[in-house]
Structure 1
Amino acid sequence: MKHKVINTLIFILFAYILSTGAVYFSSQKDIAQWEADTLALAENKAGLRQANNFYVFTKNKTYYTVSGENDEGQAIYFTYSPDDDQTYTANVDELVNEDNALALTRNDLGNVQVKTANIGIENGEYVWEVSFRDENGYLGYHYIDASDAQWYETINNL
């Protein structure tokens, strides 16, 4: 009797691990495809030769951004919007970087747990979207204009 229960529990645990693994890898497949497509566009349109980071920004539209170095050795952000097939390029040196966006959010909001930052386009300008958890455990987003490091918008209590 004990062996049947133990074997049944082992089978249930094994099935659970397999199914959650399948869901996880299935969800990552889309992100990997978006990144590959954006990298190919960046190589063709902006001469990207080395990629560093990939960001997904979704607010009013979806934007995929890759940071890296172009053929001229300049650090750039290349952004693609699949919603309207637009591309954007900016020099990293001319914008707030990811670490600064995270630090600005900590400074602006005080007692929050900063999670991640994604860069995208809002009203034709580069914007950092920094996700955070407040002291009550609610998720929020803090938006910073990447060109001048100014607060853009904060969405709380999600």
Structure 2
Amino acid sequence: MQRSQKKSKNIMFLSILGAIVVIVVGAFILYSRAKSPMVTAEKEAVTIAKKYANLDKESEFYRYNRDATYFTVAGTTKANKKIYVIVAQKGGKVKVLTQANGKSKNDILTYIWDKKNPSKILNIGLGIYNDVPAWEVSYLNKKKELSYETIQFSDGKVLKSVENI
């Protein structure tokens, strides 16, 4: 009788362990597939940046969604010039900005933390808003309500502010 109970416990343990392994592997596969389009977009944006802006080394990648989607690659050229390369998802238009000619990601985040005091920053991206290069920051305010700031790259002017969504 004890042998039968031990065998049943082993079978149950192996069944539970097998189910856990299946769940973990399934979650990993779902995560990989969900992330795949973004990985592809980043690779394509980097390739375009290397071709059209002489990008040598990329340091960051941003996705910007407003009226249109843009992918931005930050990095340096072979001449060691720091640039942002903004690539439109549709049409593939490319805009190259010199990082020193505008506000950095850190400048914008410092502004948001100082002026808006969010509970959490959700995303920051650099793209084109009304034909002007702009940073877009989405965040949760102190009441945990979704808010956005669109800030001009060149001078840090707030172009649009949407709070308490």
TM-score, scaled relative to structure 1: 0.90
What is the CA distance between 1:21 and its match in structure 2?
0.4
Specify the alignment match of 2:85 in structure 1. 78
Unaligned 5+ runs, structure 1: none
What is the CA distance between 1:157 and its match in structure 2?
4.0
TM-score, scaled relative to structure 2: 0.86
Instruction: Extract structure 1 runs of 4+ deviating beyond 6 A.
Output: none
Partner of residue 64 from structure 2, selected from 32, 40, 57: 57
Question: Could you tell me how far apart the structure 2 residues matched to 1:113 and 1:136 are?
Answer: 11
1:9 matches 2:22: no
Specify the alignment match of 1:139 in structure 2. 146
Cα distance, 1:24–1:111 mapped onto 2, change above 3 Å: closer
Cα-to-partner distance string for 1:90-144 (whole Å, 9 max, x where unaligned) = 1000110001111111122124322432111111111111121222323332221
Question: Could you tell me how far apart the structure 2 residues matched to 1:82 and 1:116 are?
Answer: 18
Unaligned 5+ runs, structure 2: 1-7
Specify the alignment match of 1:34 in structure 2. 41
Specify the alignment match of 2:74 in structure 1. 67
- The alignment yields a C-alpha RMSD, in angstroms, of 1.7
Task: Confirm or deny: 8 A CA contact 2:58 2:75 kept in the other structure.
Answer: yes
Is the deviation greater in 110-119 or in 62-71? 110-119
Question: Could you tell me how far apart the structure 1 residues matched to 2:58 and 2:146 are?
Answer: 30
**Higher CA-based Rg:** 2
Question: Could you tell me how far apart the structure 1 residues matched to 2:164 and 2:16 are?
Answer: 39
